[in-house]
A and B are shown apart, each in its own frame.
Chain A
């Protein structure tokens, strides 16, 4: 289905200005190229620990970011590289954290799963599945307490939805009408287990119904659909009506992490998503159809993005190793 045909908005209202569309394209491409590079570097042994790639899911975070302001907060799981780039964090600092170097956002102590940026209101990747859900709810409570007009985007996966703390959070968020948008990134699998094998009901946007929280399912491969639903959800949360749930139907092309036996799905399934639903190619088509960017322009963009990623990779490999003394810093405030 062509991307524009699915718009829920009025036909005569433009879904996004040309310059914005081009920006979304560039942001998605940056995430894609960054992740491809991270995958390569992991393969070369330059990245230790774990590395969960976001390839395939780019439209979710780029579309949602387009629906908030820089003062709003974002929190997510360990599959966090895309979220950080979308928040405007420096690709070089992110990549250097993946390689565990001094130039990384956590100066080599956090790794792929644990980076934060107070400046960009990014409250972290979190390695414990669903732990970010009550924390994001608390961030939203903070906004409400201080009377700030901001919201917190709280991302989690289809596997995470079955953790009890998600429902404890839903209850508190609705009870106290907290400005939080819960974004369930349903990429069909939690590690090697499909949603059908893990969940009694798979309509995750309805999981807040018992608490009276509105929710909707969104085509998470379509950046404009994401943005539009995001705007609705954010408006709801920002105007004191409480939490909102968006279930993004999306897909991860790569394995769960870098070592994944992939016994749980077929190559054909992955191929079908890549060729028929790719978020970047779908937007490229819109850009072409609307005469916003031709192939040459997109190629040029790709080169720019690749240069940024190469520079980030270069920095990440040459940044010095953390000093062993760092083992003892920031554990407790030194007296």
Chain B
């Protein structure tokens, strides 16, 4: 077993899925010869050939629709969109077609496609290269939305996404691609797509996060521990469908919750978590659910990025606030 950065675990999962199933096809801009903007597909073109690793023209709407057609034939296209901002031209196909094929055909046709795309900030890029549109996708019935936060979870969740019979939007936090390494066993074991992961147990407050914010949440938990506050950290991982049970059970124990995400606050996915807790854990709550999020503004340039992105300090401050609420 070797320790790998997340981007290599993703490559490993893609290779494994292609090895196991000849119906898995990769497509996207520069995914072949070049190996992808972040090198997630590096070497796969050579290994599996240009029939299965397709360098597409610059045509997001077209390739998303093409993938729907492939999927309707029972193939398993895995589409890479270079940055989440470039998914928008493909939204029509993803929202109007991919997500509705099963419903429209009453299950006679399904759409087992995966849309992979790097997301989130922290890499000194602007706007559409740093955004977090997960809430928008989570709002669409018929899509699964997954965001890994470590190499091992990326491997297992991506395999599950590719094997899943329905369309999955798989958002990969760019900041985590090479941030740290984790041992990954290439044994083809998938992780469940309907489960949150409790990464750290605690008694006083539950911190709910996904993607790069998971690392800030863990960091915040360490800081809080030093101040005598015991924080539980949950990585949501699959936002849709949401494993609300794990979060509710945690808050039933701690009575307090902070949700952290990079996306703007208003109508962000934190609101969904807060609403679930209001519905299912109201009488367990000792304090209001607090959201720590990006601001309601366009993702800014590097010079302002650190003012925009939530971090461990802000999460810890929010946790202290809920600890003293009365």
Q: Which of A163, A192, A322 contacts B89 (CB 8 A)?
A: A163
Please, which residues of chain A bring their CB within 8 A of the CB of B55? 193, 197-198
- Measured CB to CB, the closest approach of chain B to A144, in angstroms, equals 27
Please, which residues of chain B bring their CB within 8 A of the CB of A143? none
Residue of B nearest to A192 (CB): B34
Asked if A190 is at the interface of the complex by the 8 Å CB criterion, the answer is yes
Please, which residues of chain A bring their CB within 8 A of the CB of B297? 327-328, 331
Asked if A88 is at the interface of the complex by the 8 Å CB criterion, the answer is no
Please, which residues of chain B bring their CB within 8 A of the CB of A322? 301, 303-304
A134-156 contacts to B, CB under 8 A, are none
Please, which residues of chain B bring their CB within 8 A of the CB of A324? 304, 307
Please, which residues of chain B bring their CB within 8 A of the CB of A165? 89
Pair B304/A198 contact, Cβ less than 8 Å: no
Pair B61/A164 contact, Cβ less than 8 Å: yes
Pair B304/A50 contact, Cβ less than 8 Å: no
Asked if A162 is at the interface of the complex by the 8 Å CB criterion, the answer is yes
Please, which residues of chain A bring their CB within 8 A of the CB of B298? 109, 331
Evaluate whether A190 and B58 lie within 8 angstroms (CB atoms) in the complex, with A127-B128, A264-B34, A327-B308 already known: yes
Asked if B201 is at the interface of the complex by the 8 Å CB criterion, the answer is no
Pair A108/B295 contact, Cβ less than 8 Å: no
Asked if A111 is at the interface of the complex by the 8 Å CB criterion, the answer is yes
Q: Main SS of the interface on chain A?
A: loop
- Measured CB to CB, the closest approach of chain A to B71, in angstroms, equals 20
Pair A109/B59 contact, Cβ less than 8 Å: no
**CB 8 Å contact bits of A101-124 with B (1 = contact, 0 = none):** 100000011111110000000000
State how many residues of chain B have any CB contact under 8 Å with chain A: 34
Measured in the bound complex, the distance between the Cα atoms of B294 and A66 in whole Å is 45
State how many residues of chain A have any CB contact under 8 Å with chain B: 39
Q: Which of A127, A159, A261, A327 contacts B300 (CB 8 A)?
A: A327
Q: Which of B30, B35, B89, B125 contacts A193 (CB 8 A)?
A: B30
Asked if A326 is at the interface of the complex by the 8 Å CB criterion, the answer is yes
Pair A49/B295 contact, Cβ less than 8 Å: no
Asked if A270 is at the interface of the complex by the 8 Å CB criterion, the answer is no
Pair B33/A127 contact, Cβ less than 8 Å: no
Please, which residues of chain B bring their CB within 8 A of the CB of A162? 57-59, 62
- Measured CB to CB, the closest approach of chain A to B68, in angstroms, equals 15
Q: Which of A100, A127, A164, A331 contacts B62 (CB 8 A)?
A: A164
Residue of B nearest to A190 (CB): B58
Asked if A239 is at the interface of the complex by the 8 Å CB criterion, the answer is no
Asked if A130 is at the interface of the complex by the 8 Å CB criterion, the answer is yes
**CB 8 Å contact bits of B44-61 with A (1 = contact, 0 = none):** 000000000001111111
Asked if A53 is at the interface of the complex by the 8 Å CB criterion, the answer is no
A147-186 contacts to B, CB under 8 A, are 159-160, 162-165
- Measured CB to CB, the closest approach of chain A to B268, in angstroms, equals 16
Measured in the bound complex, the distance between the Cα atoms of B85 and A127 in whole Å is 9
Pair B126/A192 contact, Cβ less than 8 Å: no
Asked if A199 is at the interface of the complex by the 8 Å CB criterion, the answer is yes
Pair B127/A114 contact, Cβ less than 8 Å: yes
Pair B59/A164 contact, Cβ less than 8 Å: yes
Measured in the bound complex, the distance between the Cα atoms of B33 and A48 in whole Å is 27
Measured in the bound complex, the distance between the Cα atoms of B63 and A291 in whole Å is 55
Asked if A8 is at the interface of the complex by the 8 Å CB criterion, the answer is no
Pair A101/B303 contact, Cβ less than 8 Å: yes
Pair B126/A198 contact, Cβ less than 8 Å: no
Measured in the bound complex, the distance between the Cα atoms of B300 and A261 in whole Å is 27
Pair A159/B89 contact, Cβ less than 8 Å: no
Please, which residues of chain B bring their CB within 8 A of the CB of A264? 33-34
Please, which residues of chain B bring their CB within 8 A of the CB of A128? 85-86, 88-89, 128
Residue of A nearest to B57 (CB): A162
Pair B58/A129 contact, Cβ less than 8 Å: yes
Measured in the bound complex, the distance between the Cα atoms of B28 and A193 in whole Å is 11
Asked if A191 is at the interface of the complex by the 8 Å CB criterion, the answer is yes
Please, which residues of chain A bring their CB within 8 A of the CB of B62? 162, 164
- Measured CB to CB, the closest approach of chain A to B83, in angstroms, equals 9
Please, which residues of chain A bring their CB within 8 A of the CB of B56? 198
Q: A159-B58, A163-B59, A263-B35 are in contact. List 10 more A-B contacts (CB 8 A).
A: A48-B125, A49-B301, A108-B301, A128-B86, A159-B57, A160-B58, A193-B30, A193-B33, A197-B55, A324-B307
7 closest Cβ contacts across the A-B interface? A48-B302, A192-B34, A162-B57, A100-B303, A48-B124, A100-B301, A324-B307
User: A residues near B, CB below 8 A?
Assistant: 48-50, 100-101, 108-114, 127-130, 159-160, 162-165, 190-193, 197-199, 261, 263-264, 321-322, 324, 326-328, 331
24 pairs from A and B in contact (CB 8 Å cutoff):
A48-B302, A50-B129, A100-B301, A100-B302, A101-B303, A108-B301, A108-B303, A109-B300, A113-B126, A162-B57, A162-B58, A162-B62, A163-B60, A164-B59, A192-B30, A192-B34, A193-B33, A193-B55, A198-B55, A264-B33, A321-B303, A322-B303, A324-B307, A327-B304
